[in-house]
Structure 1
């Protein structure tokens, strides 16, 4: 049976299906993978099945042929009719349609499990350094993934900077690898860890009647050394343990540290399995990554035995037990279920002597020297859509250069850019000259400049001009000299201090040459008043020109004055003299 987008199809409509599960992408054991499982199913239907529809295949086991000896359940717990029945339906996974083809009215759908949705760029919103657990939860939250208790992440493991340039599936695999695990999707659609350790017991024991054929493809594989490449560009690695290449587990993980590598080696030290290829009866409860035990009949007659008695370790019944791991698994159903299991390994000769052909050598050389599209080189990437992009791992800064955009970003906001339509460079922050000379013109047109213009240990010799706007910032010369020109249609403020004021019109309530107003020269508004006070006593009026309600009066000393109003009057307390002759 299968449900397709919520519609149930039975064995009359389902022709066959194949499910491929893989834990490795190479010919050997790996940790830190997250490989989607694949379903290919053939269905007779005239129904329109939507894109990306969800497909769940099911199996039910027939119990009609079960004997009393094979039954392991107590009598009171058996709910099987005398003529036999079917077991409960068991799901074989959750898949989503990727592609389809129709031949003679029969549809063949190629589908993948939930991990395929993780093949999108990961742009984190966390503050770094962040724990691996927090990163894992952020990814699962965005993808609407549910994971079970098998996902155990060391709480002390951290990622130091935002993982720029990676997909969500890659990051999930790296986190799993640091914790000695691989990522899979269980048959119920939940995300799971398949963890490995040297002491793992078999999850399922197989007898000779459970498989059709088993072939050992290499000697038993052991691991005693771990080498992790954390920088592929410069081939920088961490390693732990001892042993040759044949005993070494190699993996790439940019987030691992020496401590993590030491812990991984401690967990896997002594892990071994026998590389096999097996055709077996279908056991739908098995998952890729399960440790399995199986037995082989290796009995010999006395005549055929060439081993000494004390060196012979075969049981009397001749059945020898072995342990392996399901690294690749294929279920196929066409009237019945069968299973193929693979546990590949790299031979000792392949591990020690890697001989590349001429084409492989050329490709490897090209990989080292060529700049690849979308690959980060110290934060720099080249793509067809954005051109050259340079970005920090924590996304604090970014620069974008292409034919349409020349921009610098800070914390996601554009800070400096070239505005192509206006042919102008625009700046959205503070302009600071540290240890140099700014000799250009800084001009705000129809806007407000509210930042800080500062010259540190240098000289600002240009022109700062605000046209039709307001300058509300601070113009400061720090450890230097501001020798430029400040030009504005209107300057407003409480106080102007300087040695010389030239040109223009000065308008105000009072203009004084003394701050106290009791000495020096004072010009007052309201009347045409000019007062000059004594510099000796400080408050004696020495000379004044005053507007006495449209009568002009010149004051001399304290009481002498000349007043003009249709007539000229001369008044002096001690007399009026002309050429030393008193005339009044």
Structure 2
């Protein structure tokens, strides 16, 4: 669901003379357009199409200021301006300064959102077994963020805390995978769970260039039957749909993925749980040590037959109220907004990441950005120990080779000297 906006916003966003204006609140000090030189923000639900992700966002900002405190909290805002009319300020992310440099009053800042706080070992303040919702609340509290009120949780249980080091991000990924979705920090700075299919079905209603319905006698004009995307999604309610159309500088169709026919959870290094017909289409794959057959089936019921539309649209005239997980019609393609590259000009590049796929007949499997080393401590320890032993052996071999080279060099010198003496003796005999 997109951010809620005022009636004035809805009017201004449809006026071609309206401009976008950004501002930043840095530790309570307001910096407007006169201070900012440039900024960019890139955020996404995943790197490669799939579930079980918890993505971080980076802000790069250049602006003039007297002082930017160490570790400053940066809140980004946007509004619409048209002549003397100006809308409300809409939040567009909360970031924490990581690096800062200054030269002649110009500060260059690198900052991250709260998801970076997930890269810390999870030390739960609850007892196991616990529900995944309770675990999410415990992690959110530890990260000092709120859970998005739109999140929906299923009554799944985490039986025990895994052996060894278990990061907050690992736990969030497990919860996301079980619910068939992905986590990210929303524009309001809240921890948000977005299901894989979070956007409304595609329709063929006749609209204006801004996506407003064209009516005939009070009735919407349907050009073609609606293309149902999925049954009711889990994890999010009431997602929005936006119309960009040809109001882009470029649009690329990167193809549709094969229809999802199965869901596979990797429980550990040896065990998997699969629901559906593996090999009949695309296999939606994720790591989840808490996975059950019930979870796999529940996700399959939500995503079965869904074909992910990969695309990219440059400099899109997208309503800034749109969020990741919303649907968009761009260049005649309808898909989910999975990634946004905002260069600070108000017209971001939007996409559903994915390259053009070859039409192979071999079953297609989604990727995951997570391996099993975070789930199986013994495996990690074994690999670490083995690598240590291998390094020791390699160092010994390197030493032996160096000694052997020295001996070969010495032998070569001795042979050269002997050859010289033989030559001298042969000269005397002659």
Please classify the TM superposition score into its range, dividing by the shorter chain length.
0.5 to 0.7
Structure 1 position 136, deviation (Å): 1.8
Q: Which residue of structure 1 aligns with residue 63 of structure 2?
A: 43
Q: In the TM superposition, what whole-angstrom CA distance separates every residue of 1:35-93 from its partner, at most 9, and x where no partner exists?
A: 1111111111232x2222110121121123xxxxxxxxxxxxxxxxxxx3211111111
1:344 partnered with 2:364:
no
How far residue 247 of structure 1 moved from its aligned partner, in angstroms, is 1.3
**Residue in structure 1 matched with residue 272 of structure 2 by the alignment:** 237
TM-score, length-scaled by structure 1: 0.50
Aligned mates of 1:30, 1:351 — CA distance in 2: 20
1:115-174 C-alpha deviation (Å, 9 max, x unpaired): 11121101334333222122222222222321132222112x111221342211221121
Is it true that 1:290 corresponds to 2:326 in the alignment? yes
1:308-323 matches, within 5 Å, as 322-323=333-334
Which residue of structure 2 aligns with residue 277 of structure 1? 312
CA distance in 2, matches of 1:32, 1:373: 13
**Equivalences for residues 3-18 of structure 1 within 5 A:** 3-18=25-40
Shift of 1:107: 1.5
Q: Name 2:194's counterpart in structure 1.
A: 194
Alignment partner of 1:55 is 2:53: no
Q: CA deviation at 1:261?
A: 0.6
Question: Does the C-alpha gap of structure 1 residues 137 and 374 become closer, same or farther in structure 2, counting only changes over 3 Å?
Answer: closer
C-alpha separation between the residues in 2 aligned to 1:353 and 1:257? 23
What secondary structure sits across from 2:312 in the alignment? strand
Find the structure with the greater CA-based Rg: 1
Matching residue of 1:476: none
Counterpart Cα distance in 2 of 1:241 and 1:373? 27
Shift of 1:207: 4.1
Quick check: 1:329–1:342 contact (8 Å CA) kept in 2?
yes
Superposed counterparts of 1:153-164, under 5 Å:
153-155=153-155, 157-164=156-163
User: Residue 324 of structure 1 corresponds to which residue in structure 2?
Assistant: 335
Higher helix share: 2
Q: 1: distance between equivalents of 2:31 and 2:62?
A: 11
Is 1:222 the counterpart of 2:233? The answer is: no
Larger CA deviation: 110-119 vs 241-250? 241-250
Distance 1:151 1:381, change over 3 A: farther
1:229·1:252 contact (CA, 8 Å) conserved in 2?
Answer: yes
2:174 touches 2:290 (CA, 8 Å); kept in 1?
Answer: yes
Question: Partners in 2 of 1:86 and 1:5 — Cα distance?
Answer: 24
- Against the structure 1 CA distance between its residues 173 and 146, is the aligned structure 2 distance closer, same or farther, given a 3 Å change threshold? same
CA–CA distance in 2 between the matches of 1:342 and 1:383? 39
Structure 2 partner of 1:425? none
Gaps of 5+ in 2: 1-22, 198-229, 365-370, 389-430
Q: Distance in 2 between matches of 1:353 and 1:262?
A: 19
Deviations, residues 221-245 of structure 1 (Å, cap 9, x unaligned): 53121111111x33x2111112538
Secondary structure of the corresponding residue to residue 15 of structure 1: strand
Give the equivalent residue in structure 1 for 2:106.
106
Unaligned runs of 5+ in 1: 65-83, 297-321, 355-366, 388-584
After superposition, what is the alpha-carbon deviation per residue over 1:495-553, rounded to whole angstroms, capped at 9, x for unaligned?
xxxxxxxxxxxxxxxxxxxxxxxxxxxxxxxxxxxxxxxxxxxxxxxxxxxxxxxxxxx
Cα distance change on mapping 1:221 and 1:329 into 2, 3 Å = farther
RMSD (CA atoms): 3.0
Question: For the structure 1 residues 220 and 295, does the alpha-carbon distance in structure 2 shift closer, same or farther, using more than 3 Å as the test?
Answer: farther
CA contact (8 A) 1:246 1:351 kept: no
Name which structure has the greater RCO, CA cutoff 8 Å, separation 6+: 2
Partner of 1:415: none
Closer/same/farther in 2, CA of residues 339 and 246 from structure 1, 3 Å limit: farther
After TM superposition, the structure 1 = structure 2 runs for residues 128-527 of structure 1, keeping only pairs within 5 Å, are 128-155=128-155, 157-164=156-163, 165-197=165-197, 198-199=230-231, 203-231=240-268, 233-234=269-270, 236-244=271-279, 247-279=282-314, 280-294=316-330, 296=332, 322-333=333-344, 336-345=345-354, 347-348=357-358, 352=362, 376-377=377-378
Number of equivalences? 318
Question: Do the aligned partners of 2:51 and 2:285 also contact (CA within 8 Å) in 1?
Answer: no
Looking at structure 2, the residues matched to 60 and 100 of structure 1 have their Cα atoms a distance apart, in angstroms, of 26
* Larger relative strand fraction: 1
CA distance in structure 1 between the aligned counterparts of 2:262 and 2:375, rounded to whole angstroms: 33
